[in-house]
Amino acid sequence: MDHYQQYFRFTRQGIDRETHRMASRTLVPPLVRALEHLDLEPRATHDVAHLVRFQEARKDRMHLFQIANPAYQNVLNETNFFTLFLYRGDNPVGCAGLRLKWIERTLAEELTSLRFYYDDVPSMARERERCIVTAPTARLIEACPVLVSLSLCVDRDQANFAAVPPLMRLLFLWAAVHWRWSWLIGIAERSIARLYTYDIYGFAGAELGVWRNRPSDGYQPDGELPLTEFILMTAPRRHTMATFLRADVCDVGRPLGQPITTTVDAAAA
């Protein structure tokens, strides 16, 4: 528990000290113990090299999201990148990460232009790479910092599904009290979104309307890259804070909640 607690220390960039104290003393310890009962230890880092090494050992099951790949991002450090690993002994067996990113125009425009994925689109994007966006909320998120949920990967032969709820709650709790952002977002394939969006990740809404080329896709005979449909998962900061900064978040057997239909109203209230 000591390793994770040192990453949970108070910083001026986060929220008020009393809320931080409540989270670190009341919410974090039971979630860490839930992982320890599974013989797992959470370890946090801002060093993207750890994520790269973890991915390289699992290339058949895990591909780095471009916004967490140092090949496409000029700066990944303690100001915008955070990963929480699960260790069994000295071996990492799972991870989930976060990326803090500024959205200059609308999220839809950033995605469509590929600026969301690459720091320098002309030199980094693949030829004919595309992203098509029709999700309504993507056109409402504009000129603000967003928190992006990165790929969740857990070795099924080393850590079962029971590890996922406490892992994700510790991850989002850290971001809730250490970084300032306006929206929490995630982009996931249908099968993942259907299982995790509300009860595991704690998002407020999920929308159809993002088609993009996956990093692992090869070119088709016609020279085009295949488009895959993704789900845009979103939650305004107020919803996320209310979801994770409550006493029953420690009960990992309890689903985080159900979708709300007034996401935009909640953000503007």
- What's the CATH code of the domain at 204? 3.40.630.30
Per-residue model confidence as pLDDT tens digits over 113-140: 999 999 999 999 999 999 999 999 999 9
Lowest-confidence region among 7-11, 42-46, 109-113, 165-169: 7-11
d(Cα 96, Cα 98) in Å, to the nearest integer?
A: 7
- E strand or H helix that includes residue 149: strand 142-149
Query: Where does the pLDDT of residue 4 fall: very low under 50, low under 70, confident under 90, or very high at 90 and above?
Result: low
* Domain membership of residue 168 as a residue range: 2-268
Per-residue model confidence as pLDDT tens digits over 46-83: 999 999 999 888 766 677 889 999 999 999 999 999 99
The pTM assigned to this predicted structure is 0.89
SS3 211: strand
Question: What average pLDDT does this structure show over 95-117?
Answer: 96
pLDDT over 90 percentage in the chain: 64
Which one, of 152, 42, 120, 54, lies nearest residue 87 by Cα?
42
Question: What average pLDDT does this structure show over 14-26?
Answer: 79
- E strand or H helix that includes residue 264: helix 263-268
Per-residue model confidence as pLDDT tens digits over 163-193: 999 999 999 999 998 899 999 999 998 888 8
Question: How many domains does the structure of the chain reveal?
Answer: 1
Residues 6+ apart with CB under 8 A from 251: none
Q: Is the pLDDT of residue 96 over 50?
A: yes
Lowest-confidence region among 10-14, 56-60, 145-149, 212-216: 10-14
Contact 86, 168 (CB under 8 A): no
d(Cα 232, Cα 186) in Å, to the nearest integer?
A: 6
* Residue 262 pLDDT: 46
